[in-house]
């Protein structure tokens, strides 16, 4: 409806708000579909299952948002040079309906946002859409009252600039996961030192900690035990506890090695 209203009224701000809302809805749909697909069990070919689909959905959503933002900014520049006629009243009516829909969605998601991370993300998206609708309404009132057409392009620019940093943050988080960077807040060197401090441990090497998908961290590590008489089960339990309880690793894989073990060269 907002797209049609934007075309009829000639408002770039209304079109940009509609595009922002549309990509948010599409992104949420992709995320929900990916979450459902990720519930499929792992197979021999996909040993970690399909958890990364959620991350790929975030990348697709980010690319769409970047496209919307840059298109809006480009069109806004054109309109600053040659501002078209903008009909304030149709623009105001459509934006007001959009705001009412956003307020209803905002109220419905408010309670669940405190318990569910996915609902919190949807709640924040609806909140940002609501701010966009308010900006369009202000623009429509200014155009109707004063005839100042540049306000439409100004609001469109503000919406585009509002989208960019949020999109960059989303893309950065997704790319960090795909590049298997250590999760935020995890100090791999500190974890190595803490594991090395477990009684009976002589050396820790090849510690890798990465994120499979949101809220699911994995780790692999080699632990060299300095004495054959050491309680290997105790070492395993303590190192596993450190990784899981102190560093949030949900899937640790720990290889214990005797001191005389000839280390094979690591691939990375």
List pLDDT tens digits, range 12-24. Answer: 777 777 776 777 6
Return the residue matching tokens 């992104």.
27
Give residue-wise pLDDT tens across range 30-42.
Answer: 767 766 776 777 6
Burial letters 107-145, b for 16+ CB under 10 A, else e: eebeeebeeeeebebbbebbbbbbbbbbbbbebbebbee
Q: With both helix axes pointing from N to C terminus, report the angle between 117-146 and 12-38 in degrees, rounded to the nearest 10.
A: 170
In CATH terms, the superfamily for domain 188-258 is Cation efflux protein, cytoplasmic domain (3.30.70.1350)
3-state helix, strand, coil in the chain (%, to 5): 65, 10, 25
Give residue-wise pLDDT tens across range 180-202.
Answer: 999 999 999 999 999 999 999 99
For residues 13 and 137, the answer to whether their CB atoms sit within 8 Å is no
For residues 94 and 21, the answer to whether their CB atoms sit within 8 Å is no
Every domain of the chain and the residues it spans? 2-178, 188-258
Q: How confident is the model at residue 268 (pLDDT cuts 50, 70, 90)?
A: low
For residues 186 and 210, the answer to whether their CB atoms sit within 8 Å is no
Give residue-wise pLDDT tens across range 40-79.
Answer: 776 777 777 777 887 888 788 788 888 888 888 888 888 8
What beta strand segments (E) does the chain contain? 201-213, 216-225, 249-258
Fold adopted by 2-178: Alpha-lytic protease prodomain-like (1.20.1510)
Question: Hey, what are 22's tokens?
Answer: 């549309």
């Amino acid at each position: 409806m907002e797209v049609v209203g934007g075309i009829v009224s000639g408002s770039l701000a209304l079109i940009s708000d509609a595009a922002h809302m549309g990509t948010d809805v599409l992104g949420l749909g992709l995320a929900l579909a990916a979450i459902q697909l990720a519930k499929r069990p792992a197979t021999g070919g996909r040993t970690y299952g399909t958890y990364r689909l959620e991350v790929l959905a975030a990348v697709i959503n980010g690319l769409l948002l970047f496209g919307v933002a840059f298109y809006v900014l480009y069109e806004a520049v054109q309109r600053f040079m040659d501002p078209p006629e903008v009909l304030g009243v149709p623009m105001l009516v459509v934006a007001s309906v959009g705001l009412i829909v956003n307020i209803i969605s905002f109220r419905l998601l408010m309670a669940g946002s405190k318990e569910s991370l996915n609902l919190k993300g949807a709640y924040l998206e609806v909140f940002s859409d609501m701010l966009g609708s308010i900006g369009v309404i202000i623009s429509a009132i200014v155009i109707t009252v004063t005839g100042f057409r540049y306000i439409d392009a100004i609001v469109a620019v503000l919406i585009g600039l509002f989208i960019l940093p949020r999109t960059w943050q989303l893309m950065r988080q997704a790319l960090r996961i795909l590049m298997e960077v250590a999760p935020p807040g995890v100090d791999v060197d500190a974890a190595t030192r803490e594991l090395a401090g477990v009684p009976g441990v002589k050396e820790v090497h090849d510690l890798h900690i990465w994120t499979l998908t949101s809220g699911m961290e994995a780790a692999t590590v080699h632990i060299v035990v300095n004495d054959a008489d050491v309680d290997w089960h105790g070492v395993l339990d303590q190192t596993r506890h450190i990784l899981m309880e102190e560093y949030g690793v949900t899937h640790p894989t720990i290889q214990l090695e005797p001191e005389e073990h000839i280390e094979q060269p690591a691939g990375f």
